[in-house]
Structure 1
Amino acid sequence: MSPPRQEAELASTDADKPKAIAFLAGSSDEAQEARTTLAARYGEVPLEKAQVIVALGGDGFMLEALHKTQALGVPVYGMNRGTVGFLMNAYATDNLPERLENAEEAVLNPLFMRATTVEGAVHEALAINEVSLLRQGPQAARLRISVDGRVRLDELVCDGALLATPAGSTAYNYSAHGPILPIGSDVLALTAMAAFRPRRWRGALLPKTARVRIEVINPAKRPVMADADAQSVRDVAVVDIRSEPEVRHRLLFDPGHGLEERLIREQFV
């Protein structure tokens, strides 16, 4: 048996070791070049052996990376090699182990979508940002919206509607004039896109526990598609949406640049 002092020294040495990193990169030249540079400098391990995953790309790729690695339970640290980079940290080649060690963690729960088509096919998907319904053709969609089994809107005539998480509230939701939700709030945003009737309906804030059902009225004449983080289902008849607390996405951010700060800052630009 090792003496107590030796055991403490061994534990300290293990704690000081850099985390085992797996790199994921988007298809762009910038992302692939960054992966090559960082892997050569810091080494890399397979995904299944990683203690932390570094995703290189834009926000779209970050969503892909989170979906791909959700079963691993490993935190993901994004570095921006795309355009907007709202979910990403600034890209730099220096001091990566220190940045990972000091990073702040945010935990996100996705939405679960169950979409049933007019032919009866059922499609299930998870969405970190939002689940949206959009008209497929030239005519406006006609939607009936229920919350927790109670019809709240008999008919919404619109280009579409979406249910957004706090993390996704600055994305498509914000472009559709929906509210920005603080990270950690137990609230979802239900937002209309180009509502024609009722004209003044601008959406609703719902508790995170709400179960939302959106039915398509006359889908043969006014076809509608559903989308969950770019996973699309055409010709839907009914879409059921709820938060999925059993799935936890762990994102890492540099201190002072986490999602909470970004969401606040976004409201003052």
Structure 2
Amino acid sequence: MSQRIAFVAAQTEEAAAARVELVARYGDASLETAEVIVALGGDGFMLRSLHRHMARGVPVYGMKLGTVGFLMNQHAVDGLPERIAQAQPTLLRPLEMRATTEAGGDAVALAFNEVSLLRQTKQAAHVRVALNGVVKIEELVCDGVLVSTTAGSTAYNLSAHGPILPLGSQLLALTPISPFRPRRWRGAILPAVTEVRFEILDHYKRPVSATADSHEVRDVVEVRIRESRERTMTLLFDPEHNLEERILNEQFEL
């Protein structure tokens, strides 16, 4: 096995110690010359690694050394090159968020898990929801609302009682967070090509923030979300424990 592997680790003692051991065994290529990046940590660190190294376009193989490891493989020192060679690739297409702020600024950010809107004060948010330019909900009164990818559907989306989406389904989840009105609306499953637009109503009295993964923009007045057509990242998973199987199994957790 001749992969050039670059190791990156979360800022924890456990992850740092694992990196030292792996580098001693397999060497450590520079990020500029690596053929694969091995990320050591939890899902939060994996998301940061995907954003940080997106421009390189190198596949990422994660090993769980954190509290949550849905996007990670099991940690083991032995046989790493063989595991990487046999790993199954999963292509991720992030969401692209374009947010306009009350001050007139524009912000663009990508999200591999979800884009979420949340109220900034004790006042409920009032949001107009449009899909592909057609208004579907004139006024959604809620604590917030999110759009999730398939990979992110078991994260915040699931906590907000959104649906789990199978990988490869080319779908998005549109999920309200503590909706008050319409009282019976529980969200929607959308084709991945859908452009979602949120317009914040009464934004001076009821300010709202928008967050793409961990990138937050405050005091937004309009947010447009669509699947990126230009950016992708590849995750590598051991055949016996791939991401599609994890998403399937999550639906039977009681």
Question: In 2, Cα distance between the equivalents of 1:264 and 1:156?
Answer: 31
Question: In 2, Cα distance between the equivalents of 1:30 and 1:264?
Answer: 30
Query: 1:267 aligned to 248, 251, 254, which one?
Result: 251
Match for 1:75: what amino acid?
P
Q: 1:146-181, CA deviations, whole angstroms, 9 ceiling, x for partnerless residues?
A: 000000000000000000000000000000000000
For the pair 1:189 / 2:189, whether they are aligned, the reply is no
For the pair 1:77 / 2:61, whether they are aligned, the reply is yes
Query: 1:208 aligned to 192, 211, 216, which one?
Result: 192
In the TM superposition, residue 256 of structure 1 has moved relative to its aligned partner by 2.1
Question: In 2, Cα distance between the equivalents of 1:245 and 1:233?
Answer: 22
TM-score, normalised to structure 2's length? 0.99
In the TM superposition, residue 251 of structure 1 has moved relative to its aligned partner by 0.2
- 5+ residue gaps, structure 2: none
Q: Which residue of 2 aligns with 1:233?
A: 217
Question: In 1, Cα distance between the equivalents of 2:29 and 2:68?
Answer: 28
Q: Which residue of 1 aligns with 2:28?
A: 44
Query: 2:89 aligned to 105, 108, 111, which one?
Result: 105
Greater CA radius of gyration, 1 or 2?
1
- 5+ residue gaps, structure 1: 1-16
In the TM superposition, residue 71 of structure 1 has moved relative to its aligned partner by 1.2
Question: In 1, Cα distance between the equivalents of 2:236 and 2:59?
Answer: 7
3-state SS of the aligned residue for 1:173? helix
Q: Which residue of 2 aligns with 1:143?
A: 127
In the TM superposition, residue 35 of structure 1 has moved relative to its aligned partner by 0.7
Question: In 2, Cα distance between the equivalents of 1:196 and 1:218?
Answer: 17
Question: In 2, Cα distance between the equivalents of 1:119 and 1:245?
Answer: 29
Query: 1:121 aligned to 76, 83, 105, which one?
Result: 105
Query: 1:34 aligned to 9, 18, 32, which one?
Result: 18
Query: 1:217 aligned to 186, 201, 204, which one?
Result: 201
Q: Which residue of 2 aligns with 1:68?
A: 52
Question: In 2, Cα distance between the equivalents of 1:256 and 1:192?
Answer: 34
3-state SS of the aligned residue for 2:58? coil
In the TM superposition, residue 18 of structure 1 has moved relative to its aligned partner by 2.4
Q: Which residue of 1 aligns with 2:229?
A: 245
3-state SS of the aligned residue for 2:32? helix
Q: How does 1:149-164 map to 2 (within 5 A)?
A: 149-164=133-148
TM-score, normalised to structure 1's length? 0.93
Q: 1:8-50, CA deviations, whole angstroms, 9 ceiling, x for partnerless residues?
A: xxxxxxxxx3211001111111111111110111101100100
In the TM superposition, residue 186 of structure 1 has moved relative to its aligned partner by 1.0
- Percent of aligned positions that are identical: 59
In the TM superposition, residue 73 of structure 1 has moved relative to its aligned partner by 1.3
Instruction: Give the structure with the larger helix fraction.
Output: 1
Match for 1:190: what amino acid?
L
In the TM superposition, residue 246 of structure 1 has moved relative to its aligned partner by 1.5
Question: In 2, Cα distance between the equivalents of 1:42 and 1:101?
Answer: 14
In the TM superposition, residue 245 of structure 1 has moved relative to its aligned partner by 2.4
Q: 1:114-149, CA deviations, whole angstroms, 9 ceiling, x for partnerless residues?
A: 011011011100000000000000011000000000
3-state SS of the aligned residue for 2:241? coil
Q: Which residue of 2 aligns with 1:11?
A: none
